[in-house]
Chains A and B, each alone.
Chain A
Amino acid sequence: MSKNILLSIRNLTISLEDRPNTSPIVQDLNLEVNEGEVLGIVGESGSGKSLTGLSVLNMLPKGVYISAGQILADGNDVTKSDEKTLRTFRGALFSIVFQDPGSALNPSRTIGKLLSDVARAHGNYSKDEIRKKSIEVLKDVGFPDPESRLKSFPFQLSGGLRQRVAIAMALMNRPKILIADEPTTSLDVSVQKGILHLIRTRTIEDGIGCIFISHDLGVIAEVADRVMIMYSGQVVEEGPMASVLTNPKHPYTRGLIASAPSMKSSLANPLRPIPGSLPPVGRTPSGCAFQDRCLEKSLGTCSTLNPTWFKDINDNTHRWLCHSEVKN
């Protein structure tokens, strides 16, 4: 079965308004998401991962804008669509789930109303149709006893249940693309497990293309098929989840793995933090963006030449951005 590409982003560049001389916040980003696949994007704050997710819906905050690139959502170019068209896409062609379900759900609307709002925004349905659909989608997201809970308000639900409602709202109109921006970060660990499982199941069963954004590599490892590591606005490594984890090539990816505590770590096997901190916004150094913190750099090249793409000989979907002098 050939995989269908649902989302394709080419040369995406996101820049700051009013500051023409600063380097962009997201630089020349390329990605593809296939049907039934979860692409994880890992990065720390300032990596541009959230902005990348928001740009798919063309919902960037004030002060930043898409200065170059093309975003094709199921063949539609989002960067060239007007606001009216974008509104028909949001919630139907693609949807987003945010980090904090508490503030994502309107506290004055019941669950039933929230779901019907989403449905009505994209078509004329009768009350019965909506009710049926709502119960169905709530069942799909593992919401217990939906019939009796349609009249509940968000404040009556726990964080995990609220997030399930948010996901239900996102899936209501059977989108092709789902953006999940740190959906489990503010949830308890035991609740997180359920939500990760849910997102993965729905992605595979409904044939959705999902982008899962997180700063926690451990979480991404549980949910993603492929992963993209971002640093300071650029993709520095990408590939199948298992390959990148067992055989990380880029020094930043290695640094992330070495500095993340896992069930294997202990004081006998100390964490090795990445030294230094992110470069200031808009002022990435020339050459490689990661050079000041890289433990494996080669002095001359890394500060003068822009890094290039390398591919793993055993798996050419696993690639990373570096210099040949650096021994990967």
Chain B
Amino acid sequence: MALDGVGFLIHPGEVIGIVGESGSGKSTLSRILVGIEKATEGKVLHNGEAVKSTSDWQKLRLDVQYIFQDPFLSLAPHMTVGQSIRDGLDIRGEGTPIERDERVGKILELVGLKASDVDSYPAVFSGGQKQRICLARALILNPKVIICDEIVSGLDVSVQAQILNLLVELNQKNGVGLIFVSHDLRVVKYLCQRIIVMHQGLIVEANSTEELFSDPKHEYTQHLLSSVPAGLSIAGV
């Protein structure tokens, strides 16, 4: 059993972190929230109402988007970057095709790429750039919350920092809420206001970031905190 009686609530504009090691169920939980995986029991509530049918899920996905961990696999290799990003708009028929193209150009610049990248294929981009493309694809739909499932885990430190700062900017300027799933406590501490700690399918602790770090209550949280490499704390820059 991957998840055991888990409950969860997010408010607009919040940045919540879900942290846990492998087998904790954090990825499963994030996938269930957006309907990529099905819960055996329990329900997902959107605006207070239970999500059941396919059209319910489609309505939820107008508000909640999800980004995968591995950018290599989450972009269709035979579609250009522009096509991948635009498809969501095409499906909803928002605006004229020319207006949609403009929006694609703008969103590419928003995530730190060039508008001219629109006609390139995913293969020519690096991992960090591909994640930006995936971010653009999610953002262009104006969701209220984006679920980031270990999106920086495979990236170099300097690239990771760029993406994290981008997420901070999006949250502070555009008001997009974030559910940030990660195994790296250091990243979660930096980014999130509230943290949920998961272990073996259960939520063992949930608290504001400050309180969790200064006064961890659950044994597992304490254990996790003590294992984080702390060497950099002496660094002076």
Contacts and interface: CB of A to CB of B under 8 A. Distances in A.
Interface stretch (B49-57, B78-86, B87-95, B158-166): B158-166
Interface in B61-117: none
Interface stretch (A20-28, A74-82, A242-250): A242-250
A150 to B, nearest CB: 26
A125 B220 CA distance: 45
B167 to A, nearest CB: 11
Given A218-B186, A259-B157, A260-B157, A273 B165 contact: yes
Interface-centre pick from A189, A257, A259, A277 (highest chain B CB count, 10 A): A189
B187 interface: yes
Interface in A37-88: 44-45
B234 A245 contact: yes
Interface stretch (B2-10, B27-35, B221-229): B221-229
A6 B187 CA distance: 37
B187 A261 contact: yes
Contacts of B128: 277
A222 interface: yes
Given A215-B157, A217-B157, A189 B230 contact: no
Contacts of B237: 248, 254, 257-258
Contacts, number: 127
Given A44-B158, A271-B165, A189 B21 contact: yes
Nearest to B172: A267
Interface in A207-236: 215-222
Nearest to B192: A267
Interface in B180-237: 183-187, 189-191, 213, 223-224, 226-237
Contact of A274 (B21, B161, B187): B161
Interface residues of B, number: 37
Contact of A277 (B22, B159, B228, B235): B159
Contacts of A222: 229-231
A272 interface: yes
A190 B227 contact: yes
Given A217-B232, A218-B232, A245-B236, A271 B190 contact: yes
A248 B235 contact: yes
B156 interface: yes
A158 B233 CA distance: 30
A257 to B, nearest CB: 5
A75 B183 CA distance: 43
A193 B226 CA distance: 9
A115 B189 CA distance: 41
Contacts of B231: 217-222, 241, 245
A256 interface: yes
B161 A259 contact: yes
B168 to A, nearest CB: 7
Given A188-B22, A190-B224, A218-B229, A45 B156 contact: yes
B126 interface: yes
Contacts of A193: 226-227, 229
Nearest to B171: A267
A246 B234 contact: yes
B236 A247 contact: yes
Contacts of B190: 261, 265-267, 271
Contact of B229 (A215, A221, A245): A221
Contacts of B234: 221, 242, 245-246
A314 interface: no
Nearest to B21: A188
Nearest to B159: A277
A192 interface: yes
A299 interface: no
Nearest to B232: A262
A144 interface: no
A215 B22 CA distance: 20
Interface string B10-27: 000000000001100000
B25 to A, nearest CB: 14
Given A188-B22, A190-B223, A245-B235, A255 B229 contact: no
Contacts of B186: 218, 260-263, 265
Q: Sort A-B residue pairs by CB-CB distance and give the 3 closest, nearest first.
A: A221-B231, A273-B161, A259-B161
11 contacts: A44-B156, A189-B224, A193-B229, A219-B229, A219-B231, A221-B232, A222-B230, A246-B236, A261-B184, A264-B233, A265-B190
Interface of B: 21-22, 126, 128, 156-162, 164-165, 168, 183-187, 189-191, 213, 223-224, 226-237
Interface of A: 44-45, 159, 188-190, 192-193, 196, 215-222, 241-242, 245-248, 254-267, 270-274, 277
